[in-house]
Each structure stands twice: as structure tokens, then as C-alpha cells.
Amino acid sequence: MAWTWRFEKADGTEVQPAVEPEEFTTQGDAESWLGEVWKDLLQGGADQVVLSEDDTKIYGPMSLHGTEE
């Protein structure tokens, strides 16, 4: 099983991430990585992410903007 992130603009268009992810073996590893690099991804042009396990969408899109105004 591989856990992967898809990086998107606000309209759902896929974008290249500013930080290249690895393939993760657990959901926790994928989420921990995102927690460490989300600001870099946001600055690099991604607005939201989608988490998948193999070909199954687990959740998302999830905004990287959070509650900051």
C-alpha cells in the first residue's frame, strides 16, 4: 500500500509541489510529512491537498490556508 498526496490549486487543478514528497507506507507518515512542509507547499503555489491510498481517495481536498487571514 502506498499513501500519496495530490497538490492542487483552489480550483482543483493539479500543481507541482514545492517540496517533492516520497511514497509513504502509512497514513500517519503521510500526514506527519504534510504537517512539516505545508507552509512551503502553500508558498510554492499549492492551495489544497488530497490524500490517497493506492488509487482510493481517502480525504480532501483539504485547504493549506487554514485559518490565517
In a domain, 23, yes or no: yes
Distance CA 53, CA 11 (A): 22
In a domain, 14, yes or no: yes
The number of C-alpha atoms within 13 Å of 35 and in the hemisphere containing its C-beta is: 6
Cα separation values, 35 from 8, 9, 11, 56, Å: 17, 18, 22, 21
Q: In what order do the strands lie in the sheet with 56-63?
A: 3-8, 48-53, 56-63
In a domain, 68, yes or no: no
Domain range for 39:
3-63
In a domain, 69, yes or no: no
The answer to whether the pTM exceeds 0.95 is: no
* Total domain count, the chain: 1
List the pLDDT tens digit at each of the 69 positions of the chain. Answer: 799 999 999 999 999 999 999 889 999 999 999 999 999 999 999 999 999 999 999 999 999 997 654
